[in-house]
Structure 1
Amino acid sequence: MAFDLQNIVRPKIYNLEPYRCARDDFQEGILLDANENAHGPVPQALLNTSLHRYPDPHQIQLKNAIAEYRNKTNSCDNIKEELTAENLCFGVGSDESIDALIRACCVPGKDKILVLPPTYSMYSVSSSINDVEVVKCPLIVEDNSFQMNTDAVHDLLKKDPLIKIVFLTSPGNPTGAKIETSRIEQLLQSWDKGMVVVDEAYIDFSGGSTAALVNKYPNICVLQTLSKSFGLAGIRLGITFSSKEMSRVLNAMKAPYNISSSTSEFALKAFEDSSLKAMEDNAKKINTEKLRLLKRLTSLKNVDDEHVGGLDANFLMIRIKDGDNELAQKLYYKLATESKVVVRFRGNELGCSGCLRITVGTPEENDILFREFSKILAELTAA
């Protein structure tokens, strides 16, 4: 395979020189180069912070910490080259990372992306904003596996050379199913006309990240976030792993100070040894609770006795009464308005008729969910 990134990334973006900002060269001393306010921040409670200074535009210390952790937890075989800071680019959440990849690779009004529904809707939203057409190739839903239909994807890519990005959500949202790495590698080996983007927002609940593959295949990008397993949704940090060449492109595109000092500070603490252990322990607790909650919910009358999709994320999906969307919607609404327990109705997604997606909470929250769920479901079906 003769993959050439210059044939994928838009020429003006590939050749883009990153904006040179005040903190590229010097970050210490009497800083009179960036038109900051030397009197410090307001309110007064923030005077002992450095929030009046622009943040580090490169975040090398944080990138090294993340790369080191992912190297330790790498499950991919035969990867000789380890991840380094040069493989990473940060975004304000994964949504900014998604948008950057589309802008880098797709000419507006011409190129296309491929998505595999049911999947995360932001791929399509970002494509619409960038005037990029969305092509769809459904996941395999008939056997409840929600795996990539590799043959169908290959056929579509062969027929349509304008597709420049394939977005794979693994583990999937709302499916909860991890895409088999062998299927991803098969796609990487057979297609050199664009980028394969693997969105791993929930990977710490299943393990087996594909991040290390960016140093084996130049045509893969892997997205991760601190919003899920790390419990840091509020700091908005998205991570893109890619080849060093692609990382250079993405870092040249980004706004110079897109990651705040506060975000960087909290993220660095999250990758300390004690924090990483706590994250892993919490992921194990969530996985244990997930199975307990699933067993209780699927034992109820008018709930299918098998979950929908996989169990590789921090949520599960169950189907109400053979796919009864009307009943599922009523249950969802009453749970939110009467019981103040909010889940997500997903019955309009492909292969998810009558389904509710339920995030796994604390044991106490899950007990309340089950109590209210069973009570309202019984009331609705007795009427």
Structure 2
Amino acid sequence: MFELTKLVRPNILSLEPYRCARDDFKVGILLDANENTHGPALSELSETEKILELNRYPDPHQHELKQQIINFRNSKPNKYTETNLEIDNLCLGVGSDESIDMLLRCCCTPGKDKLLVCPPTYGMYGICATINDIEIVKVSLTIPNFQIDIDAILQKVTEDSNIKLLYLTSPGNPTGKLINVDSIVELLKQSYSKWNGLIVIDEAYIDFTAPNGSYSQSMSTLVNQYPNLVVLQTLSKSFGLAGIRLGITYSNKKLSKLLNSMKYPYNISSLTSNVALKATAKEGLAMMQNYVDKIVEQRSIVLKKILDLKYVGKNLGGEDANFILVEILDKNGNPSNEIASKLYNTLAVDNSVVVRFRGNELNCTGGLRISIGTEIENKEMLYKFEKVLNELNA
């Protein structure tokens, strides 16, 4: 049976959050935070930099930004959504990686507890687990569709009470495949009465999924209905803001309060929040959707053309992200890591086209992951891709 107070580490439950200077007063002659009141040590300041008052600590709570984010997600809920998101459901981090690490520190005792992952999946889960001395348990995604095996997951978590977290990537990386929403909801329901753990859905690529009427494929609007659900998102992908490093954690309010107590008080800079506010405003959302539409259109074109090439096998993954995962063949028609690796290196070194070799991932033999670029970039990539691949198999 899920019970948050028994899942979270006792030292986190008793944590008193750091009280910032700006929690009390925000205006006046501010001499309480040991800031340099002369201003930034910059020879020239833009109007934006003046307004941001970069010599002052940033807003520790970011309520305005959180409100814009939840307005966006609430505007197109999941088909199972019953209640809207609120500000108290959100914790902001320095990219999703901070959130991944924070959840481990919140729920898992080093040297004792475990993390369940479903490969092939995002590599940072394993790195964060290793850093925190958390053992990794694996239940593979099903093949060829890269979906979750509900029965196998439930068996693992019910047999081992030290498994505290399950990390799932949807759409997957490197698979580019959305995990069926109905399956995740079913897992949430079944696990609630059998396992005291959190199911964490990493939705970095969620905005590239095919539209589904008035509903979204995102699970973010379900965190108030399912206390054992956590959803991670980022502005790095669909919003094109990898450089500002902003991640979003959606969870039930009790867990969100704990995460906000754990985070460093000024983790989101004034520069980051300023850009994020513009991106999640009406005009920014319209631009984001325009870019997403172009990427989705080009994704179909690139995939069709690349699958027509002589030494390309099947589409290993899905069509739900801003990349594709295709199978590279040798001259005998067999999936080949050797050819895929040589293709990757030759494209990068001799042709200035950089893709990603993923053939060593589980069930991804011969796999190359290709991000979808602009129309011009994609045309050049396809030309050089075919040329080099044919030369390698000559």
Normalized against structure 2, the TM-score is what? 0.94
Within 5 Å, which residues of 2 pair with 1:114-193? 114-141=116-143, 144-192=144-192, 193=196
Contact 1:76–1:213 (Cα < 8 Å) also in 2:
no
**Aligned residue number for residue 325 of structure 1:** 337
Quick one: which of 52, 55, 67 aligns to 1:52?
55
Name the amino acid aligned to 1:333: N
Query: Displaced runs of 4+ in structure 1, greater than 6 A?
Result: none
Quick one: which of 320, 323, 334 aligns to 2:346?
334
Alpha-carbon shift at residue 3 of structure 1 (Å): 2.2
Q: Distance in 2 between matches of 1:140 and 1:323?
A: 19
**Aligned residue number for residue 38 of structure 2:** 39
Bigger Cα displacement from structure 2, 257-266 vs 273-282: 273-282
**Aligned residue number for residue 25 of structure 2:** 26
Contact 2:171–2:179 (Cα < 8 Å) also in 1:
yes
Within 5 Å, which residues of 2 pair with 1:235-274? 235-274=244-283
Alpha-carbon shift at residue 61 of structure 1 (Å): 0.5
Give the 3-state SS of the residue equivalent to 2:23 in structure 1.
Answer: coil
Give the 3-state SS of the residue equivalent to 2:38 in structure 1.
Answer: coil
**Aligned residue number for residue 113 of structure 1:** 115
Contact 1:116–1:167 (Cα < 8 Å) also in 2:
yes
Alpha-carbon shift at residue 182 of structure 1 (Å): 1.3
**Aligned residue number for residue 194 of structure 1:** 197
**Aligned residue number for residue 363 of structure 1:** 375
Does 1:13 find its partner at 2:12? yes
Alpha-carbon shift at residue 14 of structure 1 (Å): 1.6
Name the amino acid aligned to 1:65: Q
Q: Distance in 2 between matches of 1:15 and 1:177?
A: 39
**Aligned residue number for residue 282 of structure 1:** 291
Alpha-carbon shift at residue 190 of structure 1 (Å): 1.7
**Aligned residue number for residue 230 of structure 2:** 221
Residues 309-355 of structure 1: CA distance to partner in whole angstroms, max 9, x if unpaired?
11100000110113111000000000000010000000000010001
Give the 3-state SS of the residue equivalent to 1:215 in structure 2.
Answer: coil
Q: Distance in 1 between matches of 2:76 and 2:293?
A: 15
Alpha-carbon shift at residue 15 of structure 1 (Å): 2.1
Contact 1:197–1:220 (Cα < 8 Å) also in 2:
yes
Bigger Cα displacement from structure 2, 21-30 vs 81-90: 21-30
Q: How many residues align?
A: 377
Q: Distance in 2 between matches of 1:209 and 1:310?
A: 16
Give the 3-state SS of the residue equivalent to 2:312 in structure 1.
Answer: coil
Alpha-carbon shift at residue 25 of structure 1 (Å): 1.5
Quick one: which of 190, 197, 204 aligns to 2:207?
204
Q: Distance in 2 between matches of 1:164 and 1:238?
A: 22
Name the amino acid aligned to 2:319: L
* Structure 2: runs of 5 or more not aligned: 210-215
Contact 2:78–2:222 (Cα < 8 Å) also in 1:
no
RMSD: 1.0
Give the 3-state SS of the residue equivalent to 1:245 in structure 2.
Answer: helix
Name the amino acid aligned to 1:75: N
Q: Distance in 2 between matches of 1:235 and 1:45?
A: 22
Alpha-carbon shift at residue 45 of structure 1 (Å): 1.6
Q: Distance in 2 between matches of 1:10 and 1:285?
A: 45
Q: Distance in 2 between matches of 1:354 and 1:138?
A: 18
Name the amino acid aligned to 1:317: L
**Aligned residue number for residue 315 of structure 2:** 307
Name the amino acid aligned to 2:326: I
Alpha-carbon shift at residue 161 of structure 1 (Å): 0.8
Residues 25-75 of structure 1: CA distance to partner in whole angstroms, max 9, x if unpaired?
222221110000000001122372411000000000000110111000212
Name the amino acid aligned to 1:116: C
Alpha-carbon shift at residue 367 of structure 1 (Å): 0.3
Contact 1:76–1:212 (Cα < 8 Å) also in 2:
no
Give the 3-state SS of the residue equivalent to 1:70 in structure 2.
Answer: helix
Contact 1:346–1:355 (Cα < 8 Å) also in 2:
yes
Give the 3-state SS of the residue equivalent to 2:74 in structure 1.
Answer: helix
Within 5 Å, which residues of 2 pair with 1:368-383? 368-382=380-394
Q: Distance in 2 between matches of 1:348 and 1:325?
A: 8
Give the 3-state SS of the residue equivalent to 1:338 in structure 2.
Answer: helix
Residues 278-306 of structure 1: CA distance to partner in whole angstroms, max 9, x if unpaired?
111211110110010011111110111x3
Contact 1:290–1:360 (Cα < 8 Å) also in 2:
yes
Give the 3-state SS of the residue equivalent to 1:126 in structure 2.
Answer: helix
Q: Distance in 2 between matches of 1:366 and 1:26?
A: 52
Name the amino acid aligned to 2:3: D
Alpha-carbon shift at residue 80 of structure 1 (Å): 2.9
Contact 1:57–1:258 (Cα < 8 Å) also in 2:
yes
Alpha-carbon shift at residue 149 of structure 1 (Å): 1.0
Name the amino acid aligned to 1:276: L
**Aligned residue number for residue 3 of structure 1:** 2
Normalized against structure 1, the TM-score is what? 0.97
Identity of aligned residues (%): 54
**Aligned residue number for residue 316 of structure 1:** 324
